[in-house]
A and B are shown apart, each in its own frame.
Chain A
Amino acid sequence: MGSGQSVRVEATLESPSNRPRVRVVNLFDDPQWRDAIAASYPIRLNYDLDLWRARSGWFPDNLNTRKWAFVISRQAVLDVYTLTTIVAGQEPRKENFTSLEMLRMRVEQPVPISGVAPNRSGTFWYSVKLGITTLSADEFDDLQRYVQGEGGGGGIAALLLRWALPKQTVAAETPRFVVGGRP
């Protein structure tokens, strides 16, 4: 790890909506990831967000799980950094940044997650798990083709959203919140 700080993920709640926000911190301070990005190694960040409902005397109920992935890469000719957002069932979203600092600001910004709120009453919380790994040349090539509309469907998206062996996994939970005034 060297002198850099280690990566962590933060999960917070917006008030008063209780919409979760997820943020990765220190990714660019961790030498292994900073050096990988600088050396043009594509890296991927796989996120799993779970919504839990507390049940007294029994296992908490996992109401839903949502997955998404960020792929960070560098396009050498353009000298730009690209952040590709992969969400199952949605078109991949690509953003380019002309400097590492701009990419860092974007990646480390809290990401609000919509469409995951509980639709019943009770006590809830979100847990988020972030796995970070490098992307193989073949996977990156598949991703490029997929982003450019030649991926033959969402196979590569599904592949990217699936867990590879993460080099690093970090997790966090939001505070508990009550919906409907009844815990």
Chain B
Amino acid sequence: MRRFCLAPLIALLLAPPIAAQDPIGIDFSPPARDTTRTRGIPDSLLTRAIAQFNAVATTRISGNFDLAAGNVSFGTQALYRGQLRIDGRVDGDVLVVNGDVRVTSSGEIRGTVTVLGGQLLIDAGGTVTGNRIEYPGPAPLALGPDGRLVRQAIRRALTDYTSASATFAMGPFETTLRAEPGIYNRVEGFPIEFGPSIVWNRDDRTRLTLDLTGIVRTATDATDSRGTLGWRGSLAATRRGTHPLTIGVRAGSIISSTADQPYQQMESGLGAFFLRRDYRDWYADKFVGITADWTLRPSLRVTALVRQSRERSVNAVDAFSLLRGDEPWRPNPLVDDGKYLTFGGGAVLDTRDDPRRPSTGWFLRGDLRYVTSGELTPVSLPTEIRSVLATTGYDALETEFDVRRYQRLGPEQSLHVRLAGAGWLAGNRLTIQRRRALNGGDPMSGYGFRALNCDRRRRSDPAIPALCDRVMAVQVEYRRTLNLNLATRIGSTSLGFQRPDLVIFGDVGSAWLAGAGAGRVPSNRIQSIAEWRSDLGVGLDAGSFGVYLAKALADPDPVRLGLRFTRRF
């Protein structure tokens, strides 16, 4: 009697200690350095599995299979992606790749069972006479077109349905061929971009990337202000590790957007293609430069660049648009043609929980650019807007900053605040391509396009160029997730509002000319708050798109309806 009572105690004493990490727990701790990672499948085992699967004598099974009680299979049985249930007997080995095996109480395997990317379950009474090899993590193996098992090529995520790419891996080299559309605009039409990207994983720490992109512009330019073809290329070396560092060389002949960029790229392209509203201005940009990108912490990144460019004006062409095809395009403004040398540096601190749909954290970005030119052909502007620029010895310092705070107030609500600004700091006045405006839609939803563009010419310019020295805006929004479903499902895609965010927002902002003189704001000050424009609005954000209504305050502008395909900020 005494012996039976002691047995559980002895068993308890001999039992292995309780693991520090609860096996059912969830651990969000950052992975410690030099700790053992998830148990991966050894390369030798993958090689052996491929050989075993592809062997002539192997019986290959795809999908689910149940070997019924009383039945016997001879030789190696191999299954890829599925479930194998053994109620009968297997006289041979069993190999299962990315699937599970269950040997029931009547089941018997007279051989080795290898499960890669799944689980082996053996019921009481079930028998496996050979070794049991089991790796639950997914096996990087795939079936080739001929039904043979091969190693999976490293896949490149397709972020855009409109792009196509194919990736080939050969040893340490990975080549991706891609074709994708650029931003639709009134200068190029549809720029179709294509070319290879070759990555050489030299070792675990070093990677070299060569990107070559050809650009075909679909719209014809009768004025020959730009060519039909463009290109860009880059060669970058990345040192991985705790503080990844990338240094690269870039060059190209492209159509670039001027510094004033309301809306995101995709929104600008959609506006041009569907509505004949191109919210950006463009110039021809031939450049070569060196860039560096250093990640100091996962949330902190600094960048630097030196860039030489030749920039010149291009014309808007008769590009197609789905609607308003009979309207002329807004002319593309002239820029200050010249050869520029730019030195730039910036830093980004991003502690947001989700960059696409943030609800908590900070986003801080700051950039400085110092631009010089010894060969400049400036556009003539009235001195009320800009003093005369010299054709040589040009230099200017400018900045851009964006400070955002995302504050969660509860599981379903958050408050977001943003202060953003950009413009001239010192030196000569900015070139036209670096000037700004206060834009309607983004950030000021209650106002029209370039509501404040600082163009004081008596005759208004139909190109509506951005001519301000400085711009600054503050945006505040309150978001609350609504438990309502106004969506329908087509295939695997959900269309409509499914748990949308109700957005209540307000914006204030201004853009101005800096310096001494009438109508200007002294260089060491920002414009008086009393002069700032403001609006209030409300909207529904479904995630992939949002609908907003906004009204300018103290201005006679009508209530404006806006459609956004990205978050406001």
Within 365-413 of B, Cβ neighbours of A (below 8 Å) are at 407-409, 411
Which of A37-45, A147-155, A175-183 forms part of the interface with chain B? Answer: A147-155
Say yes or no: A91-B83 contact (C-beta < 8 A), given A96-B100, A152-B157. no
What is the distance, in angstroms, from B63's C-beta to the closest C-beta of chain A?
9
Q: Is A1 an interface residue (CB 8 A)?
A: no
Contact B98 A48 (CB under 8 A): no
A115 to B65: give the CA distance in the assembly, Å: 42
Residues of B within 8 A of A165 (CB): 485, 487, 498-499
Residues of B within 8 A of A75 (CB): 83, 100
Which of A3-11, A24-32, A64-72 forms part of the interface with chain B? Answer: A64-72
Q: Is A138 an interface residue (CB 8 A)?
A: yes
A171 to B412: give the CA distance in the assembly, Å: 11
Contact B492 A65 (CB under 8 A): no
Contact A78 B100 (CB under 8 A): yes
Contact A163 B499 (CB under 8 A): yes
Contact B100 A113 (CB under 8 A): no
Contact A78 B25 (CB under 8 A): no
Q: Is B304 an interface residue (CB 8 A)?
A: no
Contact A152 B100 (CB under 8 A): no
Say yes or no: A138-B121 contact (C-beta < 8 A), given A50-B411, A149-B140. no
Contact B28 A149 (CB under 8 A): no
Contact B137 A68 (CB under 8 A): no
Say yes or no: A78-B102 contact (C-beta < 8 A), given A114-B27, A138-B492. yes
- Which of B409, B411, B481 contacts A59 (CB under 8 A)? B409
Contact A153 B155 (CB under 8 A): yes
Q: Which residue of B lies closest to A153 (CB)?
A: B157
What is the distance, in angstroms, from B541's C-beta to the closest C-beta of chain A?
13
Q: Taking chain B's interface residues, is the majority helix, strand, or loop, or is none over half, making it mixed? A: loop
Say yes or no: A111-B24 contact (C-beta < 8 A), given A78-B83, A78-B85, A91-B138. yes
- Which of A91, A95, A106, A163 contacts B137 (CB under 8 A)? A91
What is the distance, in angstroms, from B129's C-beta to the closest C-beta of chain A?
21
- Which of B38, B121, B142, B359 contacts A98 (CB under 8 A)? B121
Say yes or no: A50-B100 contact (C-beta < 8 A), given A66-B28, A77-B83, A96-B121. no
Contact A127 B411 (CB under 8 A): yes
A109 to B30: give the CA distance in the assembly, Å: 25
Within 405-435 of B, Cβ neighbours of A (below 8 Å) are at 407-409, 411, 415
Residues of A within 8 A of B121 (CB): 78, 80, 96, 98
Residues of B at the A interface (CB closer than 8 Å) are 21-22, 24-30, 38, 64-66, 81-85, 98-100, 102, 117-119, 121, 123, 136-140, 142, 152, 155, 157-158, 353, 359-360, 407-409, 411, 415, 481, 483, 485, 487, 489, 491-492, 498-499
18 CB < 8 A contacts A-B = A59-B409, A66-B26, A66-B28, A75-B83, A77-B64, A80-B121, A93-B136, A98-B121, A106-B24, A112-B24, A113-B27, A113-B28, A138-B492, A148-B117, A155-B157, A165-B498, A165-B499, A171-B411
Q: Which 7 A-B pairs have the closest CB atoms?
A: A149-B138, A115-B29, A62-B408, A115-B28, A138-B492, A148-B98, A112-B25
Q: A62-B407, A77-B65, A152-B158 are in contact. List 9 more A-B contacts (CB 8 A).
A: A48-B411, A61-B407, A77-B84, A136-B492, A138-B491, A148-B99, A149-B117, A149-B138, A165-B498
